[in-house]
Structure 1
Amino acid sequence: MSSSLDAARPVTAPAVTPRFRPAIHFTASDTWLNDPNGLVFHDGLYHLFFQNNPYGNVWGNMSWGHATSPDLLHWAEHPVAIAGDEVEDIFSGSVVVDHGNTSGFGTVESPALVAVYTSAFKAASPHSGTQAQSLAYSTDGGMTWLKYDENPVLTRNSAHFRDPKVFRYEGPHGSCWVMVAVEAQHQKVVLYRSEDLKSWDFLSDFGPANADAGEWECPDLFPLAVDGDPDNTKWVLIVNVNPGAVAGGSGGQYFVGEFDGVRFVPDAGSLAAPAGLSSFPDKDAAQAALQQCLWLDWGRDCYASVSFSNVPDNRRIIIGWMNNWDYANQLPTAPWRSSMTLARELRLSSVNGSLQLIQHPVLTEQRVEENPVPGPAPFNLDGTALRLPDAVPGTAQVIEAEIVLGSAELVEFSLLGSTDGSQRTVLGYSTRSGRLTLDRRQSGNTQFHGKFASVEAAPAALEDGILKLLIVVDQCSVEVFAQDGKVVLTDLVFPEANSLNNWLSAEGGTATVRKLAISSIA
C-alpha cells in the first residue's frame, strides 16, 4: 500500500453523507481512520489514538489521530497526536502510563504517557524499507507528544515487524515491561521484555496456528479471571488476521492459555489447527477447522481490536475498527471514512467445558425508552410480522429481546427496512441450523464494492430453548450480541434515508417473546 501524498486523494468522492454519521461510534470529522492505537485511561478520560490520514479519506500518510471520551460513547476529536513525516509513517502501537518513571520521561509524581509505535521507514531514513519500534512521550496528559531522539528502540531489520502492544507484567520474580508484536507475513507473534521501555530483550515467539491464511496484525495479551474467580486466571492472546477471517477478509481470532513472563502456551481447546490452517491439504477440512477457531466477531466489520491499558478495577475493554480491508477505501461516506466499534467489556467464562470470551457493549448512557409494541411481554408470534418502533435519525437504537423459540423454525428481525420491504437488513435465527445469520444483501447501497453484499453466520446454541439478543443499530451499522455476549456479529450497512422500519416475525410455528425492550441513545 502506498504511503505517498497521492493516497490522500479519495478513491471515490460520494456526496456528503451526514445521515450515515454514527451517534455513538467514533468517526474522524473529515478524514480516514483505521486501527485503534494507544488505548489508555488516564485522569478520568479514555484516550483513543488511531491510524489516521490527516490529508484525505483513504489510507495513506499514516499518523496517529486522537480522541477522548468520559464514557466511551461520546468522543471529542483532537489535533493529530503523532505525525508521519518524510522519514517515517506512524503505524499501530500502544500507550502505557509509566507510573514508576522507568523511562525517565516524567516523574514518579507526574508519570509520562509513553507511546510505543511502529516506524514504517521511508527512503529518506537510514532504516529505509524496514519496520521497527519507536517511542514518543507526553507529559501533559496525552495532548502533545515528543518523539524519542534515539528511535528506533527495537529493530529486527524486517519489513513487516509491527503493532507493539506493551503492558506491565508482575511475576513471581519481579516486574518488567512486555511487548507483544508481530512478524506479520510469517504469522508469528514475537515477545520482548524491557526494564525501561528503551532497551528490549527477546523472550519467545508463537505461531503460526489456527487462521494463518493472511498477515497477522495487532496482537494483544492480557490476563482474565475465569468466571470472575481471581484464583483461576488465564491469559488471552488476540491476533488479528487479514485476509482469512471466518466471514471473509479481515477479522480477529484469539487463543486462551498460559503466560509465565517468557512464553505464551495455548490450551489445547484453543487450537483448531495447531500448525495453522495453511497446513491442511484439504480445503473442506480447513474450512471446517476455520469454524472451530475462536473468533472475537463473526461479522465482516470488526478488525484490529485491542484493549485499553490502565483501566480502573482491572476491567478489560476493547475497541475494534469497524471495517474490512476488502472494501475499506470504497465505503460510500463523506467527508469521513471509517468508524470504530462500540467499546466492549470482556470476561472469560467456561461455556460447555471450553473457555470463551464474553463481550458486553459499554452502554452507560441513560437511554430513552421507546413505545413497547404490542405491549408488555410475554406475547406470542405466530406468523404475523410485528411492527417495532422505527429507527430515529441521529440516534442509536438498542433492542433487547429474549425469545422462546417453541415450535417456530425461524425468528427474524428486519431492521432499517423500506416501507415496501424491498430493502432491509435481516437478523435471523434458524432452529434447524442452530445458527444466527446477518443478511445485508438487500440492506441498501451494496454496489460500491463486489464483496460487500454478504450473509454472515455464527453458531449460537439456544439455552433452555431461549434466544437472547442485544442489537445496537447506529445509522450505518448493526452490532449483535447474542446469548449474553457469547456470540457477536458486526456489519456495516448503508440504507436509504427513509429506510427506518423495524419488524419482528416468526415462521413455521409459534415463538414466545419473553422480553422486548427498545430504547435510543443520542
Structure 2
Amino acid sequence: MASFNSLSIVLCVSFFLQAVSSKLYSEPYRPQFHFSPKANWMNDPNGLVFHNGTYHMFFQHNPTGIGFGPMHWGHATSQDLVHWEEQPLALFPDPLGHIFSGSAVVDINNTSGLAPAGLTAIIAIYTSHNPEFAAQNRTDVERQSIAFSVDNGKTFVKYEKNPVLPNPGIRDFRDPKVFWYALQEKWVMALAAQDRIHFYSSKNLLQWEKESEFGGPSIGAHGGVWECPDLFLIEQKDISKWVLLVSINPGGPNGGSATQYFTGAFDGKTFTADSKDINWVDYGTDNYAGVTWSNVGDRHLFLGWMSNWNYGQSVPTEPWRGAMTVPRDLSLKVANENAYLVSQPIPELNSLIEAELVSLNETTVKGELKLVDTKRENSTGLLMVNFELAEVAEWSFVLENDLGEQVVVGYEASSRQLYVDRSSSGKLDFEIQFADKMKAPRISQDGSMDVTLLIDVASIEMFADGGLTCMTAIFFPHKPLNLLSVRSGGVGSLVLGSVRVWSLNSTVWSGQVDPVSSGLRRAPSTTNSFFIVFSLGLLFLCVLGEL
C-alpha cells in the first residue's frame, strides 16, 4: 500500500506541475520570442559564451522575488540563439557576497590550470558584491572572483582563492568583461570603476595586473557611474576598429539607463578613442547593459536587458520581471566620414516567420494605409516589418487596438529625428516619464531609407538605415495591439518603395497549443486559476493519504 501511495504522490505532483507549466508563458505581456525567466527578477545579461555547439546566456537573477535582490546567475541555453531553455541556477551568493555581473570565457589552452586532463573549462569571471560592506558605507564592497565548469556550464566550482582581483579602494568596481588578446598571448579584462574603465591583463586568469584607464568627465556621457564594459575588435574589408561599450545609469539619451560606445584603437594595454563624442548603441529607453558573446569567431553577437532602471522594478508583469532584446549582429559603417556601430537583428530570427501578410511595391500613401487588421490571418500577433523609401519623407507606423491604445514609430523630416511614442500605449501610471516621447537623430545622410521593425507582445525594436539608428521600447496595453497601419506626414503623400509584413511564430509555444487561443495577453482565466487550486488541493490530499 505504501508503494501505491508513493506512486499517487508522484502522479499528483506531476498533475500539479503540468497545471502550473500550462500557465507559464501565457501571462499578460509575456514575451514570445524574447527570452524571459519563468519567474522572478532578471536584469543584465552575463557570461555570454559559445561552447560545444551551445550558446550560453547567464543573467542577473533574484530567484526569491520579482524585484532586485540577492543576485545569482541564472542560466539559459540555445543551439540557434532563437529558442532558449532555462537551466538550473549557475552561481549562488557566498560569504564574499552576491554574484553581480561579469563574463565567461572558454579556457581552451587551460591557462588557469583549473581543468582536469582531457577536459576544457568555461571560466566565469564575476563581481562579488558584499551587501554588509555596502551597508557600512565601506569602499571595498566589490571584488572580482572566478568559477569554473568542466561539464559545459551545467555546474560551476568557485575558485578556492577568490577574489582574484581585490578592491583597490573604489566603491563602484565591477562588471569584468574578459577576452583573449592573441597578439600578446594574454587575457584582458575591462572593468567599470566609477566614471571610467580600467584595463587589466593576466596570463592565467588568476593573477591580474593593471594596464591603464580610459574615461573621466571629459569623455562620453556621465549621467551616472559607468557599468558593464565590453571591448572587441571588428575587422571588415573596408574598416577595422576596436569598439568599447559602456553602460550608464542614469544619463541615457531619453532618460534612465542606456549603453554608449566608442570606436578607436587598442594595443593590448591602452584604449585610445577616435573621439570624445557620445554615441549610443540604442536610443530607446529599453536596451541596457548589453555585451557580446565570446568564442564565436569573427561574429559580434550582442544582447541587452530590455528594460530601464527608471521603472524596471515597477512594470506590471508577473510572476516575472525582465526580458532580453533579440540577439543582434554588430558591425561598422562609415557615415559622415565617421565610423559608427551598426546593429541588426540576427538572420536566425527568420526561422520564426509563419506567413507573409503584406507584400507591396511602389505604393503611394496619402493619409493612412491599413496593413494588418483583425480580418487578416495573423494567428500569433507577432510581427516583422520591413519597408524602404526611395526618397526620404515623413512617415509613421501605428500599432494599435480597438480601444485607441497605440504605439507610434516614425520619422520627422523637419528635425531629422526618428521617434517612438508610447504616450497612449495603455498602462502608464507606474512611472512618471514612461509616457515621454523618445527621439533619436537620423545619422545617415542618404536620400533613401530602410527600416525593420520587430514587434512582440509588449515590445518593439526599430532598426533604421541598416541599423545605424536603433530604438527599443516596451509597452503595456489593456488589449493586444493587433492593428498596424502606415501614415504619411503633413499634407503630402508617402511613396513606399516596398513594404513587407510577416507574422512570426512564438519560440516559447513551439509544439504547444496556439498561444492566442490559449489566453496569450489576456487577463488570468478563472478556469485556469481553479485548475491550479484544484491541483494544489489534490496534492494536499495525496500527501495526507501518504501520512
Per the normalisation by structure 2, the TM-score is 0.83
What displacement does 1:463 show? 5.6
What displacement does 1:100 show? 0.6
The structure carrying a bigger helix percent of its residues is 2
Q: Cα–Cα, structure 1 residues 24 and 332, in superposed 2: closer, same or farther, change >3 Å? A: same
1:457-487 CA deviation, whole Å, 9 max, x = no partner?
Answer: 1111566532211000111101000011111
Asked if the contact 1:371/1:389 (under 8 Å) is kept, the reply is no
Rounded Cα–Cα distance in structure 1 between residues aligned with 2:306 and 2:139: 31
Give yes or no for the alignment of 1:132 onto 2:147.
no
Q: What one-letter code is carried by the residue in structure 1 that aligns with 2:211? A: L
3-state SS of the aligned residue for 2:367? coil
Partner of 1:297: 282
Q: What one-letter code is carried by the residue in structure 1 that aligns with 2:126? A: Y
Asked if the contact 2:41/2:322 (under 8 Å) is kept, the reply is yes
Q: What one-letter code is carried by the residue in structure 2 that aligns with 1:448? A: F
Rounded Cα–Cα distance in structure 2 between residues aligned with 1:16 and 1:236: 36
Partner of 1:434: 416
Rounded Cα–Cα distance in structure 1 between residues aligned with 2:437 and 2:245: 25
Asked if the contact 2:25/2:32 (under 8 Å) is kept, the reply is no
3-state SS of the aligned residue for 1:484? helix
Rounded Cα–Cα distance in structure 2 between residues aligned with 1:130 and 1:19: 38
Determine which of 235, 248, 253 is the counterpart of 1:241.
248
| Count of matched residue pairs | 472
Percent identity, aligned pairs only, is: 38
Give yes or no for the alignment of 1:147 onto 2:129.
no
Partner of 1:164: 176
Partner of 2:276: 271
1:346-396 CA deviation, whole Å, 9 max, x = no partner?
Answer: 001211210001111114142123322xx6312111123334356957553
Question: More displaced, 234-243 or 100-109?
Answer: 100-109
Q: What one-letter code is carried by the residue in structure 2 that aligns with 1:519? A: W
Asked if the contact 1:64/1:83 (under 8 Å) is kept, the reply is yes
What displacement does 1:446 show? 1.1
Give yes or no for the alignment of 1:449 onto 2:437.
no
Asked if the contact 1:22/1:396 (under 8 Å) is kept, the reply is no
Asked if the contact 1:130/1:159 (under 8 Å) is kept, the reply is yes
Q: Cα–Cα, structure 1 residues 436 and 108, in superposed 2: closer, same or farther, change >3 Å? A: farther
Rounded Cα–Cα distance in structure 1 between residues aligned with 2:245 and 2:444: 27
- After TM superposition, the structure 1 = structure 2 runs for residues 401-440 of structure 1, keeping only pairs within 5 Å, are 401-405=387-391, 410-415=394-399, 417-419=400-402, 422-440=404-422
Rounded Cα–Cα distance in structure 1 between residues aligned with 2:223 and 2:146: 31
1:86-140 CA deviation, whole Å, 9 max, x = no partner?
Answer: 5410000000000010001115742100000000124399999520000100000
Determine which of 172, 181, 193 is the counterpart of 1:183.
193
Give yes or no for the alignment of 1:370 onto 2:377.
no
Determine which of 311, 336, 359 is the counterpart of 1:327.
311
- After TM superposition, the structure 1 = structure 2 runs for residues 196-207 of structure 1, keeping only pairs within 5 Å, are 196-207=204-215
Rounded Cα–Cα distance in structure 2 between residues aligned with 1:432 and 1:223: 36
Partner of 1:361: 345
Partner of 1:285: none
Rounded Cα–Cα distance in structure 2 between residues aligned with 1:124 and 1:210: 30
Rounded Cα–Cα distance in structure 2 between residues aligned with 1:404 and 1:424: 27
Rounded Cα–Cα distance in structure 2 between residues aligned with 1:499 and 1:359: 26
Partner of 1:515: 498
Determine which of 122, 130, 135 is the counterpart of 1:113.
122
Give yes or no for the alignment of 1:78 onto 2:87.
yes
Partner of 1:381: 365
Structural RMSD (CA): 2.2
What displacement does 1:331 show? 0.7
Rounded Cα–Cα distance in structure 2 between residues aligned with 1:63 and 1:341: 20
Q: Cα–Cα, structure 1 residues 461 and 307, in superposed 2: closer, same or farther, change >3 Å? A: closer
Rounded Cα–Cα distance in structure 2 between residues aligned with 1:29 and 1:94: 23
Partner of 2:228: 218
1:254-275 CA deviation, whole Å, 9 max, x = no partner?
Answer: 00111000100101xx312xxx
Structure 2: stretches of 5+ with no match in the other structure: 1-23, 506-547
Asked if the contact 1:298/1:489 (under 8 Å) is kept, the reply is yes
Q: Cα–Cα, structure 1 residues 434 and 108, in superposed 2: closer, same or farther, change >3 Å? A: farther
Determine which of 465, 469, 474 is the counterpart of 2:447.
465
3-state SS of the aligned residue for 2:313? helix
Rounded Cα–Cα distance in structure 1 between residues aligned with 2:133 and 2:342: 46
Per the normalisation by structure 1, the TM-score is 0.86
Rounded Cα–Cα distance in structure 1 between residues aligned with 2:91 and 2:76: 13
Rounded Cα–Cα distance in structure 1 between residues aligned with 2:53 and 2:373: 36
3-state SS of the aligned residue for 2:185? strand
- After TM superposition, the structure 1 = structure 2 runs for residues 31-46 of structure 1, keeping only pairs within 5 Å, are 31-46=40-55
3-state SS of the aligned residue for 2:254? coil
Rounded Cα–Cα distance in structure 1 between residues aligned with 2:139 and 2:250: 26
Rounded Cα–Cα distance in structure 2 between residues aligned with 1:512 and 1:492: 29
3-state SS of the aligned residue for 2:28? helix
Determine which of 21, 38, 63 is the counterpart of 1:29.
38
What displacement does 1:225 show? 1.6
1:376-422 CA deviation, whole Å, 9 max, x = no partner?
Answer: 3121111233343569575531000112457x5x311001x1225x2
Question: More displaced, 215-224 or 116-125?
Answer: 116-125
